[in-house]
Amino acid sequence: METQELQNFIGISKNKTTSKLIQELKACIIKINNKTNLEIEFKAIRTSRKITHIEFSFCRTDQHPLDEINNKKNNLKAQLADLGFKQERHKSLIKIPIEVLIPAISATKKAIEEKRITKTIEAYFFYQVGILKDKNGKKFTGLELVSMFKNNAGVERHTLWSEFYAQLSEEKKTAYSQTSREKNRITKEALDNDFTNKFNKWIYETKIKQ
């Protein structure tokens, strides 16, 4: 779309420069992407050195491409809901590669039917995601799985932190205390990193790993 045509279409003053138009577009698109099920991107096209056209691309974030192929709207979304994932989690979960996501859902459903879930349904699902490979032969790292678990399993981070902290030895609790951590900057950074690493490892070992 020509920049002049775009300005007329959305009611932006003709007196505004192209750079101002781009700034306003970016601000509007951020709002749309955050508040709707659309994900919009655009790029400026130059003729010589002047930006003369804006090219837009649109996609839905609540619908996986495979759903369109099968003509089954929100099929994966419904399956994730069946596993107990809340609607606000679906947007990030359907970004998992399709060759990993579908087998993980299927394996989790089968485990539920066969009553093989030893921890939680969410934990089993993420464990399956972790052992499967994408089309490039890559697996999610343990840290990536922990991050997905913390963001999508519906468990409050404070609850996880409290449970982790409760099982620490008194020596470790003292070491991680605010007093110990604030003795000096180097010690604080080292203790913070050590705590985070152990916390993430604990989540994987106790909450995800089957």
The larger pLDDT score, comparing residue 153 to residue 193, is at 193
Q: Residue 71: its pLDDT value, please?
A: 45
Tokens of 63: 């619908």
Q: How many CB atoms lie within 10 A of CB 64?
A: 23
Closest CA to 9 of 49, 42, 51, 54: 54
Cα–Cα distance, 67 to 83 (Å, whole number)? 18
Cα–Cα distance, 86 to 151 (Å, whole number)? 11
Position 150 confidence tier, pLDDT thresholds 50, 70, 90: confident
* Beta carbons of 199 and 161 less than 8 angstroms apart: yes
Tell me: pLDDT of 66 over 60: no
DSSP assignments along 104-132, one per residue: HHHHHHHHHHTT--SS-HHHHHHHHHHH-
Any residues with CB less than 8 A from the CB of 100 and at least 6 apart, and which? Answer: 129, 132, 133, 134, 140
Q: What percent of the chain has pLDDT over 70?
A: 87
Tokens of 107: 């394996």
Closest CA to 156 of 94, 203, 92: 203
* Lookup result for tokens 């070992």: 205
* Lookup result for tokens 């066969």: 114
Kind and range of the H or E run holding 87 = helix 87-93
The larger pLDDT score, comparing residue 169 to residue 178, is at 169
Q: Residue 12: its pLDDT value, please?
A: 67
Q: How many CB atoms lie within 10 A of CB 138?
A: 10
Q: Which amino acid is at 105?
A: I
Q: pLDDT tens digit string along 102-138?
A: 899 999 999 999 998 888 898 899 999 999 888 888 8
